[in-house]
């Protein structure tokens, strides 16, 4: 599938610019096994890059302008690369403008270039197509102009670009897009940015994504509000337990003891965060020893927490999780990513995938009148240069 995407991108580039691209870059979306909404709370997360990608083709154009074409959107824009970039109404361009600003801010100089890109990452499904866009674009410019930016800084600058667009996100998405490895999940310590790759061996179970096919507009405002609520929670915790400066060092009993000092929402958010940090450690240990039943149980618990305490679920996602929970062949399921729509991630007994998919498709259609989209997950490499076979 990705070969088709690469050829389409190269063909389009050749037709548009009448030349061969100098660099071709593949940049993936991501899944997350467990550890939601804790990348910005000093927690651990367990994501992986997937085989759904954006393909970029680049060349220098010996001018002071960048011309960038989004093949799938049938849209393009042009900028003077030495100028500061401003936000526009054309949102997809802002991610790339944000990256150009980051380069300038960090003292990197680029010259004029042409770029085209095309994607097979579903947009708005919680698979981080925006992180793939930021990181793939920056990775390509790094290669084209030999800027010597380190991979971790590509992720961090991509994250800053996302903040500039308006979502005060953590580091998980950009980190996984850059650092992914085939068949490995990445355990990221979001406090230190240290990371380990662990085998993505789910034994007798397959990873399947069910895409609710909805994206509620609440997402960005609610996301930013959750961050503020967590900041408030942590400041109350620190005021009462001065030795605690991070959710990482906080115990559940300590949050419970402060219930009367917090608003109901701040209390629920803080409790979720502390529990979720613990769950990731347990889940990673379970994965390492092949205890997929425990891993699945933790995923169900995460969903419950995200729905009831963190309040980032929605009727469609709750339906998808609660429906498969009744199936013996599904041992784990939860909403994945920021919430308010997008996908659930599921562990389904091998051989039973089709039965579950068919049943859920019908039930979801009956309940919401919406078509369920389904993706079988393959864990792939992080952002890299395409090498023709
Ligand atoms: C979005 C953000 C990430 C992370 C997740 C929730 O994907 O971009 O940084 O916070 O939501 O875990």
Q: What is d(CA 312, CA 338) in angstroms, rounded to the nearest whole number?
A: 7
Residue carrying structure tokens 């498969």? 324
Instruction: Give the ranges where 52-112 is alpha helix by DSSP (H).
Output: 91-105
- Grouping H, G, I as helix, E, B as strand and the rest as coil, residue 304 is helix
Claim to verify: residue 163 and residue 215 sit in the same structural domain: no
Burial of 37 (0-12, 13-18, 19+ CB in 10 A): buried
Q: Count Cβ atoms below 10 Å from residue 162 Cβ, excluding itself.
A: 25
* Tens digits of residue pLDDT in 263-287: 999 999 999 999 999 999 999 999 9
Query: Is the Cβ atom of 172 under 6 angstroms away from ligand 1?
Result: yes
Whether the pLDDT of residue 319 is over 80: the answer is yes
Residue 275's alpha-carbon distances to 35, 64, 246, 268, 305, in angstroms, are 10, 51, 14, 11, 9
- Grouping H, G, I as helix, E, B as strand and the rest as coil, residue 68 is strand
Whether the pLDDT of residue 221 is over 90: the answer is no
Backbone φ and ψ for 201, nearest 5 degrees, come out as -110, 105
Active site includes 173? yes
- Grouping H, G, I as helix, E, B as strand and the rest as coil, residue 27 is strand
Claim to verify: residue 111 and residue 44 sit in the same structural domain: yes
Query: According to the model, what pLDDT value does residue 1 have?
Result: 72
Backbone φ and ψ for 361, nearest 5 degrees, come out as -55, -45
What's 283's domain CATH number? 3.30.70.890
For residue 281, the number of C-alpha atoms closer than 13 Å in the C-beta half-sphere is 8
Domain that holds residue 278: 205-377
Whether the pLDDT of residue 182 is over 80: the answer is yes
Query: According to the model, what pLDDT value does residue 360 have?
Result: 98
* 47-60 vs 341-349, strand pairing mode: unpaired
Claim to verify: residue 123 and residue 251 sit in the same structural domain: no
User: How many structural domains is the chain composed of?
Assistant: 2
144 pLDDT band (50/70/90 cuts)?
very high
Query: Is the Cβ atom of 342 under 6 angstroms away from ligand 1?
Result: no
pTM, rounded to two decimals: 0.97
| Best of 273, 336, 338 for a ligand 1 pocket test (most atoms within 8 Å of beta carbon) | 338
Claim to verify: residue 218 and residue 173 sit in the same structural domain: no
Claim to verify: residue 113 and residue 151 sit in the same structural domain: yes
Claim to verify: residue 182 and residue 213 sit in the same structural domain: no
388 pLDDT band (50/70/90 cuts)?
confident
Q: What is d(CA 336, CA 344) in angstroms, rounded to the nearest whole number?
A: 5
Q: Which two tokens stand for residue 191?
A: 């406090």
32 CA distance to ligand 1 centroid (A)?
10
Closest CA to 62 of 16, 114, 138: 114
What's 144's domain CATH number? 3.30.230.10
387 pLDDT band (50/70/90 cuts)?
confident
Claim to verify: residue 188 and residue 231 sit in the same structural domain: no
Burial of 120 (0-12, 13-18, 19+ CB in 10 A): middle
* Tens digits of residue pLDDT in 363-377: 999 999 999 999 999
Claim to verify: residue 36 and residue 78 sit in the same structural domain: yes
Residue having the nearest C-alpha atom to atom 8 of ligand 1 = 169
User: CB–CB of 2/132 below 8 Å?
Assistant: no
pLDDT above 70 coverage of the chain, percent? 100
Query: Is the Cβ atom of 37 under 6 angstroms away from ligand 1?
Result: yes
- Grouping H, G, I as helix, E, B as strand and the rest as coil, residue 67 is strand
Mean pLDDT of 45-60: 98
Burial of 198 (0-12, 13-18, 19+ CB in 10 A): middle
Claim to verify: residue 164 and residue 63 sit in the same structural domain: yes
Claim to verify: residue 193 and residue 212 sit in the same structural domain: no
- When the pLDDT of each residue in the chain is averaged and rounded to a whole number, the result is 97
Query: According to the model, what pLDDT value does residue 219 have?
Result: 80
Claim to verify: residue 272 and residue 311 sit in the same structural domain: yes
Query: Is the Cβ atom of 337 under 6 angstroms away from ligand 1?
Result: yes
Claim to verify: residue 193 and residue 213 sit in the same structural domain: no
């Amino acid at each position: 599938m990705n070969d088709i995407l690469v050829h389409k991108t190269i063909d389009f580039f050749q037709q548009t610019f009448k030349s061969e691209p100098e660099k071709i870059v593949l940049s993936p979306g991501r899944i997350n096994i467990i550890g939601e909404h804790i990348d910005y709370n000093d927690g651990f997360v367990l994501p992986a890059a997937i085989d759904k990608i954006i393909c970029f083709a680049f060349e220098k154009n010996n001018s002071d302008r960048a011309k960038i074409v989004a093949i799938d959107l049938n849209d393009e824009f042009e900028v003077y690369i030495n100028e500061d970039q401003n936000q526009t109404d054309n949102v997809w361009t802002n991610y790339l403008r944000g990256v150009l600003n980051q380069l300038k801010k960090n003292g990197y100089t680029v010259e004029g270039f042409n770029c085209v890109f095309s994607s097979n990452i579903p947009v708005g499904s919680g698979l981080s197509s925006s992180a793939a866009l930021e990181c793939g674009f920056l990775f390509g410019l790094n290669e084209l102009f030999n800027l010597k930016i380190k991979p971790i800084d590509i992720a961090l600058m991509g994250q800053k670009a996302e903040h500039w667009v308006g979502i005060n996100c953590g580091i998980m998405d950009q980190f996984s897009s850059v650092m992914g490895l085939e068949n490995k999940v990445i355990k990221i310590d979001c406090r230190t940015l240290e990371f380990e790759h662990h085998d993505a061996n789910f034994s007798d179970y397959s990873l399947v994504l069910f895409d609710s096919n909805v994206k509620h507009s609440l997402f960005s405002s609610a996301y930013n509000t959750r961050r503020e609520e967590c900041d408030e929670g942590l400041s109350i915790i620190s005021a009462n337990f001065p030795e605690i400066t991070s959710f990482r060092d906080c115990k559940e009993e300590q949050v419970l003891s402060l219930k009367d000092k917090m608003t109901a929402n701040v209390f629920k958010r803080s409790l979720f965060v502390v529990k979720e940090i613990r769950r990731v450690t347990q889940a990673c240990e379970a994965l390492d020893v092949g205890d997929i039943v425990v891993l699945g149980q933790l995923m169900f618990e995460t969903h419950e927490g995200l729905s009831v305490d963190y309040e980032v679920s929605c009727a469609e996602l709750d339906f998808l999780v609660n429906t498969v929970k009744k199936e013996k062949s599904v041992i784990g399921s939860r909403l994945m990513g920021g919430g308010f729509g997008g996908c659930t991630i599921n562990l389904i007994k091998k051989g039973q995938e089709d039965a579950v998919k068919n049943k859920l498709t019908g039930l979801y259609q009956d309940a919401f009148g919406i078509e369920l989209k389904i993706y079988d997950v393959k864990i792939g490499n992080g952002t890299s240069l395409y090498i023709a076979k």
